[in-house]
Amino acid sequence: MSGTRETTGGIEGRLRIQVKVDAGMVSNVQLDSQRPVNSGALLEGRSVGDALDLLPRIFSLCGVAQTAAGLVAVEHALRVSLTPPQIAARQMLVAAEALEQTVWRITVDWPTCLGMQPDVAGIRDLRRLLRGLGMHMFKAIPWNRVGGSHLVPDPIELVKTIDAVAQHAAWILFGDAAPQLDDHRSFERWLGRQHQPGPAALDYVRDQGLAAFGNSPVDLLPTAPDTGFFAQQLAKDVDWSFCTHPHYHGNISETGALSRLVDHPLVSELRDRHGNGLLTRLAARLVETNHLISKMRSCVDDVSDDMGTTTNNESGQGISVIDTARGVLVHWVEITDNIVNRYRILAPTEWNFHPRGPLIQGLEGVNAQVGEALDKNAGLLINALDPCVGYELNIVEH
Amino acid sequence: MCLAIPSKVMEVKDDRVIVERYGERLEVNTGLMTEPLTVGDYVVLRARTHVVAKMDPQAAREALLLFNELAERLADDIEFKSDHEAP
């Protein structure tokens, strides 16, 4: 049997999620992912430079993270040591993109789920501010050179830009009532007092008794996973099966804000009370906005004039593991005589939307009658787990 | 991992446009754009809901060739998997 996908929706792929409800309970959840996990094949047979040029052109949502992951994997393969300023510059850009994506989820997708007006203008202005960061660091854009690009940072402009980003993000997320998201008591005091469209989802979750909705026993990926394990699995992933249904040492796992912030005082306390339910997950996303801005600030101190490094090596295997808004992004590459022989990309969506992953296990068995409507609640859970493609949710009542 | 597939603007409404790609039509939000869009422009979408960037026509043509290649590889991959499936 062979198959072609008739529409671009097919090339891009979608998640089709079918939820069956029996006697008021979710009895079964089926997930069909049509995502093209073999997009790394587009890079194979090309020169390393051409392949790296293609990455930001292939991916529209996370082009910076994909580019950085590609560079690090290639540098690992060719045994290039990156200087600390180059590492910091890339980390700042990756954090900036993650901030944009996270704020987008909160201010556009969460309200849309609940039938509220999203703040599209707010995210448009945030994108405009974030665009300045690269220009204040690199002598020329693009910056996707193996070994690093020519850095001539302007720390004053960088700090001004990050200040403006922080101020704007705080406004569109919290209005004039920015909370201390440090502990449960201050979080509870803040809940219900603000009216920005994104965080209003947290009010909905608390008021409708959905704090523990979607709790699942799925393991969280560690913050510093075993890259050797990924390299071993991806090197032998001839049929893309590991990229399609990944596991971590045999265990189905979850990645994203919750797994990164599991030790944060507020997230930890919410998890003790509600497990990995909606309130914990959405709060982790909010907390992460502050962490990403702090990450950007910390990078400023480490960025300085630097020409980058070079290499004479032309062959090798390499891997990179990068934190993105949606979770861990893994690239693996095999290079022979400066040509990309094999390339594998393992994206966060494949962890969180695994057929036995946190979405499925979180929905199975839940009370379908809690809250206003199951489609809203399930939609929030899907958005909390943050797929990088669109989805169709179909609820069938028996 | 949302793919940057070029979509052609077919119709412009207030804060939305109708775009077409590979024969599929979508109505999407343009609130993120700071520059006006006109019929015939190529744009990139986020998750089939919002326009996130305008592309120059040459870059769009090159990208379409790339995604055509991906579509072919997808078909080959389905065939590959099918050939290796247990009976």
pLDDT tens by residue, A257-306: 999 999 999 999 999 999 999 999 999 999 999 999 999 999 999 999 99
Q: Can you read off the two tokens belonging to residue A302?
A: 């480490």
Residues of B within 8 A of A244 (CB-CB) are none
Helices (H), A139-256: 155-174, 184-190, 200-207, 227-235, 241-244
Query: Touching check for A239 and chain B: CB below 8 Å?
Result: yes
Query: Touching check for A128 and chain B: CB below 8 Å?
Result: yes
Predicted local distance difference test score (pLDDT) of residue A192? 76
Q: Tokens 């009216």 appear where?
A: A195
Min Cα separation A259/chain B (Å): 19
Q: Chain B: residue nearest A10 by CA?
A: B71
Which has more pLDDT, A154 or A198?
A154
Query: Touching check for A3 and chain B: CB below 8 Å?
Result: yes
> Considering chain A, what is the average pLDDT of its residues?
92
Interface predicted TM-score (ipTM) of this complex, two decimals? 0.84
Min Cα separation A189/chain B (Å): 33
Give me the mean pLDDT over the A181-205 stretch: 84
Min Cα separation A61/chain B (Å): 6
Residue B52 pLDDT greater than 80, yes or no: yes
Give the residue among A93, A91, A126, A99 at the shortest CA–CA distance from A289: A99
Residues of A within 8 A of B69 (CB-CB) are 42
Q: What is the DSSP string of A350-390?
A: HHHT-TTSHHHHHHTT-BTTSSS-HHHHHHHHHHHH--SS-
pLDDT in tens, A347-382: 999 999 999 999 999 999 999 988 779 999 999 999
Q: Where does the pLDDT of residue A219 fall: very low under 50, low under 70, confident under 90, or very high at 90 and above?
A: very high
What interhelical angle do A155-174 and A278-302 show, nearest 10?
170
Closest partner CB to A42 (pick from B44, B52, B70): B70
Q: Can you read off the two tokens belonging to residue A307?
A: 């020409």
Query: Touching check for A251 and chain B: CB below 8 Å?
Result: no
Residue A2 pLDDT greater than 50, yes or no: no
Residue B31 pLDDT greater than 90, yes or no: yes
pLDDT in tens, A7-39: 345 577 889 999 999 999 999 999 998 888 888
Q: Chain A: residue nearest B30 by CA?
A: A120
- Give percent of chain B with pLDDT exceeding 90: 51
Predicted local distance difference test score (pLDDT) of residue A8? 41
Q: Where does the pLDDT of residue A218 fall: very low under 50, low under 70, confident under 90, or very high at 90 and above?
A: very high
B4·A7 Cβ contact <8 A = no
Query: Touching check for A393 and chain B: CB below 8 Å?
Result: no
Give me the mean pLDDT over the A106-119 stretch: 92
Closest partner CB to A123 (pick from B4, B21, B32): B32
Domains in chain B with CATH codes: 7-84 (2.30.30.140)
Residue A190 pLDDT greater than 90, yes or no: no
Q: Tokens 């099966």 appear where?
A: A241
Number of A–B residue contacts, CB under 8 Å: 122
Predicted local distance difference test score (pLDDT) of residue B77? 62
Measuring CA to CA, how many Å separate B67 from each of A30, A86, A144, A310, B85? 28, 32, 22, 32, 26
Percent of chain A that is helix, strand, coil (3-state, to 5): 50, 15, 35
pLDDT in tens, A157-174: 999 999 999 999 999 998
Predicted local distance difference test score (pLDDT) of residue A158? 98
Q: Where does the pLDDT of residue B73 fall: very low under 50, low under 70, confident under 90, or very high at 90 and above?
A: confident
Residue B1 pLDDT greater than 60, yes or no: no
Q: Where does the pLDDT of residue A141 fall: very low under 50, low under 70, confident under 90, or very high at 90 and above?
A: confident
A7·B71 Cβ contact <8 A = no
Q: Where does the pLDDT of residue B87 fall: very low under 50, low under 70, confident under 90, or very high at 90 and above?
A: very low
Residues of A within 8 A of B67 (CB-CB) are 8, 11
Predicted local distance difference test score (pLDDT) of residue A354? 96
